[in-house]
Structure 1
Amino acid sequence: MTLSFRKKNLGLIEGVIYSKGATVKEIVERGWDVGSGARVWRRRLLAWEEESVSECLSLLCDIVLQVSTLDRWWWVFDPIGGYSVKGTYKYLTLPTTHVETGLYDAAWLKQVSLKVSVFVWRLLCNRLPTKDNLLRRRALHHDDIFCVGGCGCPETSHHLFFRCDTFGRLWLHVYQWLDILFIPLDMVRDNLHRFGNLAGAPRSTHTFLQVIWHACVWLIWKETNSRIFNHKTKEVGLLLDSVKLTSFLWLKANKLTSAFSYTDRWRDPLLCMGARD
């Protein structure tokens, strides 16, 4: 196996590496550290290229070489039948799992505006300009990676939207408003899938819950931008009021709450969703 095989999968550019024909054995002998003979570049790497290199190294660092075993090509998607054009086309065109397909469908809701759907899509793909992503692109200094919420923790997408002591409390107020018990999960996409398909809730409520989830993350992001650029802060209680109003207006625009007023939905949202009598 050579680096030229990995570069097609991970986006490495063949023209920027001198040792592009080196085998895995040769790279292991040279070492993985920066400055070692295994990492010699013809020019300075771009930000996305550095990410690809890190991903490549994470795949290679766990490889254990066996002296008695010869190198061979192995098509991981069909190790028995081997490579075929039909199998490759099927892999590229079919969704990986039904959960991911449904999850991405939930990101593109017709009840919310296009810019909110694009924002949620970027959040699921971890492409928002959070501080960890900005640091990876060398747009921030290492001393400026702490959460804008003031909790003192490094800012990542999952931390900012779900684990932060400031913004995480918004979800607790939302759970109390909906009268549900919910434990945030470790991944953003898992949170959307679990919250939008709440166990025990009728299927008719899934769209309502997904709209509320979109409103929460959207308003959290707007609040972070307001704190950074306008130096204005909003209390969690006011954020909750904004979530209630924003989600109501989104649903009303699509005539999903015509039978209930804003006050009714404020007091008993599950009744308005048809989750209980």
Structure 2
Amino acid sequence: MAGLASNRNACVSEYWSSQGWNINWRREIRGGAELSQHSQLMSCIENMCTNLDQDTWQWKFGDEESFTVRYVRYSLDVSRLPFASIATRWCKILPIKVNVFVWRAMLNRLPTRTSLDHRGIDMESLLCPCCNNNVEDSNHVFFTCNVALELWNRIEMWLDLHIPEFVNIADMFEWIDEHDGGSKQWRILNTTCVTVIWILWMYRNSVVFDGTTIKKHQLFDMVVLFSYNWFCNRNSKGRINWNAWMQNPRM
């Protein structure tokens, strides 16, 4: 239809008046395909709103009409970032990488086999690489896998403390926060439990990527050593003798 316009270079305002569209054609619109195209054109533009103001870019993503980087970032955060119903935990006794690991675990963002499968990554098997008995998600790796159950039993004997069967990581932290004994006992228990899931994740990765460079019988000793180093070297509110820690840090 552009070829039939009397002025191909005309501005939109030249074809628009208060009464509506007034397009000047070089000749009468004929029937057939030409008439059909003309009808389609008028149908597309009849509901357009125009004015005599200078054209400007407008932002229609939300309530603000003007474009701002701040609102773009906010919109992306709302649509892309996961929502957590539980507060983020940050413990200064633990290394930054371990705190980040805990944060990802609480948001169910660890790359377990079921998590990767949900993201469309083709997996040869969804079974836990450590036990091959159940599908692998973070709750299984940390609490229901045979390797995890055996390690938690040894931690229970070491601390001389009944540790319930946790459903998930939020359940574990809820139990820690409700445990009596003061701030020092809380720091010891929190450090120890987080060390357990960190070591279990290290072991899982060693099975998947390194051909089990970490042996299962080493896990308990690694928990004792890692938790002691983190608690004593990063804790400004007191140290514990190594021999006492090996016996029972809660005593």
Q: Which residue of 2 aligns with 1:54?
A: none
User: What aligned pairs does 1:126-145 form with structure 2 within 5 A after superposition?
Assistant: 126-141=108-123, 143-145=124-126
- Quote how far apart the aligned CAs of 1:239 are: 0.5
Asked if 1:188 corresponds to 2:169, the answer is yes
User: What aligned pairs does 1:132-171 form with structure 2 within 5 A after superposition?
Assistant: 132-141=114-123, 143-171=124-152
Asked if 1:248 corresponds to 2:228, the answer is yes
2:208 paired residue among 195, 207, 228: 228
What do you get for the CA RMSD once the two structures are aligned?
Answer: 2.4
Q: Which residue of 1 aligns with 2:250?
A: 270
Give the distance between the partners of 1:235 and 1:176, measured in 2 at CA: 21
Give the distance between the partners of 1:236 and 1:166, measured in 2 at CA: 8
* Percent of paired sites with the same residue: 25
Relative to 1, partners in 2 of residues 1:215 and 1:263: Cα closer, same or farther, differing over 3 Å? same
Give the distance between the partners of 1:108 and 1:259, measured in 2 at CA: 20
SS at match of 1:111: coil
Between structure 1 and structure 2, the one with the greater Rg is 2
SS at match of 1:146: coil
Q: Which residue of 2 aligns with 1:19?
A: none
Residue 206 of structure 2 aligns with an amino acid whose one-letter code is S
Give the distance between the partners of 1:230 and 1:186, measured in 2 at CA: 29
Give the distance between the partners of 2:112 and 2:196, measured in 1 at CA: 17
- Quote how far apart the aligned CAs of 1:130 are: 0.4
Relative to 1, partners in 2 of residues 1:255 and 1:160: Cα closer, same or farther, differing over 3 Å? closer
SS at match of 1:115: helix
Q: Which residue of 1 aligns with 2:196?
A: 216
1:114 paired residue among 96, 113, 122: 96
Asked if 1:238 corresponds to 2:218, the answer is yes
Residue 242 of structure 1 aligns with an amino acid whose one-letter code is M
- Quote how far apart the aligned CAs of 1:151 are: 3.7
Asked if 1:100 corresponds to 2:86, the answer is yes
Residue 149 of structure 1 aligns with an amino acid whose one-letter code is C
* Preserved CA contact (<8 Å) 1:251 1:257: no
Q: Which residue of 1 aligns with 2:154?
A: 173
* Preserved CA contact (<8 Å) 1:169 1:236: no
Residue 127 of structure 2 aligns with an amino acid whose one-letter code is F
Relative to 1, partners in 2 of residues 1:125 and 1:113: Cα closer, same or farther, differing over 3 Å? same
* Preserved CA contact (<8 Å) 1:185 1:191: yes
Give the distance between the partners of 2:237 and 2:246, measured in 1 at CA: 12
Count of matched residue pairs:
170
Residue 214 of structure 1 aligns with an amino acid whose one-letter code is V
Residue 133 of structure 1 aligns with an amino acid whose one-letter code is S
- Quote how far apart the aligned CAs of 1:131 are: 0.5
Residue 213 of structure 1 aligns with an amino acid whose one-letter code is C
Unaligned runs of 5+ in 2: 1-77
User: What aligned pairs does 1:83-98 form with structure 2 within 5 A after superposition?
Assistant: none
- Once the two structures are superposed, residues 44-100 of structure 1 have per-residue CA deviations (whole angstroms, 9 ceiling, x without a partner) of xxxxxxxxxxxxxxxxxxxxxxxxxxxxxxxxxxxxxxxxxxxxxxxx9xxx99x93
SS at match of 1:260: coil
Relative to 1, partners in 2 of residues 1:257 and 1:242: Cα closer, same or farther, differing over 3 Å? farther
Residue 247 of structure 1 aligns with an amino acid whose one-letter code is S
SS at match of 1:269: coil
Give the distance between the partners of 1:185 and 1:149, measured in 2 at CA: 19
Give the distance between the partners of 2:159 and 2:190, measured in 1 at CA: 13
Unaligned runs of 5+ in 1: 1-91, 272-277
- Quote how far apart the aligned CAs of 1:125 are: 0.4
4+ residue segments displaced more than 6 Å = none
Residue 241 of structure 1 aligns with an amino acid whose one-letter code is D
| TM-score with structure 2 setting the length | 0.62
User: What aligned pairs does 1:199-214 form with structure 2 within 5 A after superposition?
Assistant: 199-214=179-194
- Once the two structures are superposed, residues 119-170 of structure 1 have per-residue CA deviations (whole angstroms, 9 ceiling, x without a partner) of 11000000000011101112133x5100011242000110111000122211
